[in-house]
Amino acid sequence: MEKAKVFYSDLRALPGTNLLLKLQKLIRRAGIGEIDMNNKMVAIKIHFGEPGNLSFLRPNYAKAVADVIKELGGKPFLTDCNTLYVGRRKNALDHIDAAYENGFSPFSTGCNVIIADGLKGTDDIEVPVVGGELVQNAKIGRAIMDADVFISLSHFKGHEATGFGGCLKNIGMGCGSRGGKMEQHNSGKPSVDQNTCVGCRTCAKNCAHGAISFNEQRKASIDHNKCVGCGRCLGACNFDAIYNENA
């Protein structure tokens, strides 16, 4: 397999230029102009961020990319799929509201926001995974699969389970519908160390599926039949009482 060419840019901006112009210059240098965009629907896969957080790309960068796509004759839209966990991105209505709140509106970016797996995360297409050992068919958001051109616009982020998330996670997990994410997570379901649990109930507040209950001693337990393995409870526990047996 031929090695991929990687193009870098620093953050220096001399008088007469700025970071957005540098980004446009960078993607042109990387060959975006070689893609046939004429009258094509172009999905820009991005993470809109949960309201209150700041670890996401600013909408200015999305607009810079969308403007170049439109110059090339394309029809860009910003997209992501719904999440499994508690938050403002579980369904399309709240998801779009969250995107707008963080600045990703048609007025600021010049293109529409479309949640790829639909209103409740059930609008997907099963895509065969050639040679897949654990997953033979990946459930991908329909709007992503219906697009003619796909562009990943990723941010670099620390992740408690995998070290760092970037382009591969933005595509591999981010493009999965809620059903697809459920299949990706379902092999690793956490359990509770009852001796360490203090009964603070923070884990239950972060469980979107009602899988966590408490006994008379206020100790948590996780119903693996309801748990989808998203790991939000594990990350939320401040006392290291929740662990993953498969980790």
pTM for the whole structure = 0.81
Task: Locate 14 and state its tokens.
Answer: 């001399």
- Tally Cβ neighbours within 10 Å of residue 14: 7
**pLDDT tens by residue, 45-71:** 999 999 998 889 999 999 999 999 999
In the block, tokens 């439109």 appear at 70
Share of the chain above pLDDT 90, in %: 62
Pair 98, 49: CB distance under 8 Å: yes
| CATH 3.40.50.11440, the chain: domain bounds | 23-28+35-184
Pair 157, 174: CB distance under 8 Å: no
What is the CATH code of the structural domain delimited by 23-28+35-184?
Answer: 3.40.50.11440
**pLDDT tens by residue, 111-150:** 999 999 999 999 999 999 888 777 789 999 999 999 999 9
| Residue 146 parent element (H or E) | helix 142-146
Flag whether pLDDT at 247 surpasses 70.
Answer: no
User: Residue 244 is which amino acid?
Assistant: N
pLDDT of residue 155: 83
Kindly indicate the confidence band of residue 167, based on its pLDDT and cuts at 50, 70 and 90.
confident
Comparing C-alpha atoms, which of 245, 242, 246 is closest to residue 220? 242
How remote is the C-alpha of 208 from its chain's centroid?
17
Q: Which CATH number fits domain 186-244: 2.102.10.10, 3.40.50.300, 3.20.20.70, 3.30.70.20?
A: 3.30.70.20
Kindly indicate the confidence band of residue 4, based on its pLDDT and cuts at 50, 70 and 90.
confident
pLDDT of residue 243: 86
pLDDT of residue 160: 60
